[in-house]
Structure formats: C-alpha cells, structure tokens
Amino acid sequence: MHIAMIGCGYVGLVSGACFADFGHSVTCVDSDPARIDALHGGRVPIYEPGLAELVARNVEAGRLAFTTALAPAVGEADAVFIAVGTPSRRGDGFADISHVFAAAREIASALRGFTVVVTKSTVPVGTSDEVERIIRAANPAADVVVASNPEFLREGAAIGDFKRPDRIVVGTTDERAREVMTEVYRPLFLNTSPLLFASRRAAELIKYAANAFLAMKITFINEIADLCEKVGADVQDVARGIGADNRIGSKFLHAGPGFGGSCFPKDTLALVKTAQDHDAPLRLIEATVAVNDQRKRAMARRIIAAAGGSVRGKAVAVLGLTFKPNTDDVREAPSLAIIRGLLDAGAEVRVHDPEGMDQARALLPEVVFCKSPYEAARGASALAIVTEWDQFRALGLPRLKGLMAQPVLVDLRNIYSARDVIRHGFRYVGVGRGDDDDLPAARLRRVRRPEMPAPVALDGAGRDHGLDRRRA
C-alpha cells in the first residue's frame, strides 16, 4: 500500500513510521519546513521512546520519506491520513478544525485514482462529512471515500500502542474503503482482527467518549482522594479495592494533580460543546472539566501550605513539567497551572524535567531551569514532584535535605512511602493518603471521631426509614 500521512506530529510521525515498519510505502507530509528539514537531517523533532530508531530504520529501508510537497504524495497514495492538530479554539473551547479543512482542500486537487481519505485527527462528530463535502466541491470527478479512523495511542508508549492496539476503529460503510483499511492494518493482525467497523459519525464519537470516560475516571479518584484525606483513609487502598472489580478495572485510578496533556483537556471541552450544541448536555463531563480545572490551582495551594503557609520570597522546587513521563509534551500540563499559582504567591520557582524543559522554556520565562533535581532543590522551602518520571522515584533524600532550606516533600503522584520520607526528617504531603502525621487523616485518628448520624434509608416513595430509628 502507498500511504500519505498529513501532519508529522506525535500521531502522524508515529503512525507513519509504524505503517512503514509493517512494510507499506509511506510519505509523511508537513507544512512546517523546519520539521521536515530536521527529519531529513536524521533528527526526530519530538521525544517518544523508540521513535528515532524506528524512523531511521524505515528511512534506511526506503519505506519512509518526508516532504512539504503534499500533491505528489497524495497522488500516488491508496490511503491519505489527515493527522494534523485540532487544538481548542481560543475563546469558546470548541475544537479548532481549520487545519483539517485546510488539508482537505489541498488533498482534493491532488487525488489520482481511487483513494480513501482518512481523518485520524480527533474531530467533532460530522467533521468527516464536511471533509467529504470540501473534497467533492473542489474536485467533483475524484474517486474518493472519506473514512474516520481515530487514533488511541498514548504518548510515552505510542509505538507499542500503535502496533498492539486494543482495537482499531474505522468509520465507513463503503465496501471499497473497508477493503483498503483492512489491507492497511492487516500486518498487525495475528489470529483475530481488532478492526471495529462503525458508521463515520459513531467512529468520531467513540474517540471523544473514550477520552471523556478516562478523564472522568481520573477525576473520580481525585475527588475520592480528597474525601480520603478528610476521613483518614488511604486512596491507594481504596483504588486497589475498587480496581480489583473487573467492571471497574485498575487503570486510571491514580490520584494526582489533575489530568493534562494534549488530548483530555481539549477533547472533554470539545465534547461538552458539541453536546450542548445538540441539546444533549453531558453533565458528568461538564463537572469533570470544572473539577479538574480547579484542582490544578489547588495543588499550588497545597504546596504553599506545606511550605508553611507563605512562599513569598522563598524558593520552591518543582520536579516534572511534562503532563506525564516519557514524553516532552507540556501542553496543558498540570505543572503549568501549579507553577503559575506559585509565582502568583511570590515564590522563586526552580524546575527540572528530563525531556520537557525545551518546550516549557517559552511558556515559563520567569522560572529557573535546572540541570538536575538536586540543583532545583538548592535553597528550596519545599520540593514538589508533579510528574512521576523514573528519575524522581529514588532521589537521595539525605542529599536533598542537606540542600534545601527546609525539608518538605510534596509528592503529587504518591510515588514515595510517606513513612520512609518522614524517617529521613522530611515533612511529607501526598495526595489522599492517611499515613502521615501532618495529614488530616492522621490527626483525625488522634481526636475523638464525632458521632455519625444513623444512615438514612429512603424507600421508593422517598420515605425516610432512618427517622424512626433516630427518634428511638
């Protein structure tokens, strides 16, 4: 198969390189000449584990090429994938699909022979209908089918996800398009095909519904973590206890500073807007968005409280800028809102991240970028772990203590044992954990618990059966 991949970002580059690795002939197109120059020079412009080697191997084998010239790549392609960005539109939170439409207009006049044009970008329901309309208006003679094929890969594990997906969703009811898409993905089937065909609109919605559900799950455990702190329970015990239930599952039950990244924030917001437009508001997702937004800033307040109530004129160290480990992506990362909150409170913020500092520099001109966690900790009144990079999991606590103005560790990913950290003379604050002397949970254990009211049971008619027991 000949494949054209429009957009050489996290999704386009990984998908293009993996398709080439399957044996297809792939041309990746990007409108950013600097990006294509870098790729021609053997430099991969994003950090994704294993990607540089995969790209080099397939370029070497002659199966993968890069260009800014869209027309020749599209002309010879059996399938053209649109994998350009769909960020939040400034002002109203709808998905900005102008790049998708710009690509569709360029593709239209370059089509030769039967071609399947595939929207791989995450796009609101109905976008592929509009892509088809644009192409047919610009080139009525084109023999083309527009299909939807949303991408589910995760940054940091993108190659594995692409090559061993849980499912591949293809939105088309056209038989010829079905054959092409089956052929494109055939090399990754072993016994059973993970291909799931649906209508184009259902495929578009599957992607948003999946991301919204995962974002909701994270937000759920974060709110449970807040409750754990009040009642003296450990959220990690609660997460294990509920995650063991197959109907719930243990993934995405890690309490932390709130979700971020290039997908969940923009996709939840876009879904909320789409649903409102269709007069079918999604209240659960609206609440998820609101709760998560407030949470990031609340984490800054948590750090300030741990440092003694004020950070004005004090240094605070922040470890981790990317929205998760093993990527250089800082888009919508919780670190950005947390650092903004610390700066607003008058702190000097010293940061370190293994891969994210280049991307963050332009967004955070006021912070001090440090070469190591220890350099960041120098003179700090608190050290906050915001991203759970492996490099931060086994820090030398005695060394840190010697460097800091006061030994305070705020572990927003719960990667340390509170007892261990406290044993090294630190004050420890985690998320939703009840095993630290400074946490409300432990304090609760020391004070007499207030009498709890008897449970109130309402029957189907709304009658309160607890009332009689309470009177008695």
Based on the shown chain and the rule CB under 6 A, indicate whether residue 11 belongs to the binding site for ligand NAD. yes
Distance, in Å, from the CA atom of 322 to the CA atom of 47, rounded to the nearest integer, reads 11
Query: For ligand NAD, which is the closer residue by CB, 316 or 336?
Result: 336
Considering only residues 22 through 81, tell me which ones interact with ligand NAD, judged by CB under 6 A.
29-32, 35
Q: How many residues bind ligand NAD (CB under 6 A)?
A: 26
Based on the shown chain and the rule CB under 6 A, indicate whether residue 124 belongs to the binding site for ligand NAD. no
Query: For ligand NAD, which is the closer residue by CB, 234 or 332?
Result: 332
**CB-hemisphere CA count at 13 Å for 322?**
20
- Taking the complex as a whole, the smallest distance from the CB of residue 53 to ligand NAD amounts, in Å, to 19
Helices (H), 61-115: 70-75, 98-110
Based on the shown chain and the rule CB under 6 A, indicate whether residue 9 belongs to the binding site for ligand NAD. yes
Distance, in Å, from the CA atom of 71 to the CA atom of 249, rounded to the nearest integer, reads 46
Query: For ligand NAD, which is the closer residue by CB, 26 or 422?
Result: 26
Residue 56 CA, chain-centre distance (Å), reads 27
Pairing of strands 348-352, 315-319: parallel
- Taking the complex as a whole, the smallest distance from the CB of residue 196 to ligand NAD amounts, in Å, to 16
State the catalytic residue, choosing from 8, 228, 263, 370.
263
Residues whose CB is less than 8 angstroms from the CB of residue 4 and which lie 6 or more positions away in sequence, other chains included: 26, 27, 29, 70, 73, 74, 76, 77, 79, 80, 81
Query: For ligand NAD, which is the closer residue by CB, 185 or 426?
Result: 185
- Taking the complex as a whole, the smallest distance from the CB of residue 31 to ligand NAD amounts, in Å, to 4
Query: For ligand NAD, which is the closer residue by CB, 6 or 51?
Result: 6
Among 79, 84, 147, 311, binds ligand NAD (CB under 6 A): 84
Residue 291's H or E segment, with its range, is: helix 283-306
Distance, in Å, from the CA atom of 7 to the CA atom of 115, rounded to the nearest integer, reads 18
Are the C-beta atoms of residues 148 and 128 closer than 8 Å to each other? yes
Catalytic (active site) residue 263: yes
Considering only residues 146 through 175, tell me which ones interact with ligand NAD, judged by CB under 6 A.
151, 153, 155
CA proximity to 260, closest of 207, 355, 327: 327
- Taking the complex as a whole, the smallest distance from the CB of residue 101 to ligand NAD amounts, in Å, to 9
Query: For ligand NAD, which is the closer residue by CB, 262 or 274?
Result: 262
Torsions phi, psi for 5 (to 5 deg): -115, 115
Distance, in Å, from the CA atom of 47 to the CA atom of 155, rounded to the nearest integer, reads 9
Among 25, 58, 222, 262, binds ligand NAD (CB under 6 A): 262
Are the C-beta atoms of residues 173 and 199 closer than 8 Å to each other? yes
Based on the shown chain and the rule CB under 6 A, indicate whether residue 259 belongs to the binding site for ligand NAD. no
Based on the shown chain and the rule CB under 6 A, indicate whether residue 272 belongs to the binding site for ligand NAD. no
Binding part of the chain for ligand NAD, among 10-18, 139-147, 216-224, 417-425 by CB under 6 A, reads 10-18
Query: For ligand NAD, which is the closer residue by CB, 87 or 232?
Result: 87
Distance, in Å, from the CA atom of 2 to the CA atom of 27, rounded to the nearest integer, reads 8
Based on the shown chain and the rule CB under 6 A, indicate whether residue 121 belongs to the binding site for ligand NAD. yes
Helices (H), 362-439: 373-377, 397-403, 418-423
Based on the shown chain and the rule CB under 6 A, indicate whether residue 212 belongs to the binding site for ligand NAD. no
Among 25, 58, 115, 122, binds ligand NAD (CB under 6 A): 122
The tokens 């995962």 sit on which residue?
Answer: 214
CA–CA distance from 295 to each of 183, 238, 282 (Å)? 45, 20, 20
Task: Give the pair of three-digit tokens for residue 331.
Answer: 């888009």
Binding part of the chain for ligand NAD, among 9-17, 230-238, 438-446, 457-465 by CB under 6 A, reads 9-17
Residues binding ligand NAD (CB under 6 A): 6-12, 29-32, 35, 83-86, 99, 102-103, 121-122, 151, 153, 155, 262-263
Active site residues: 263
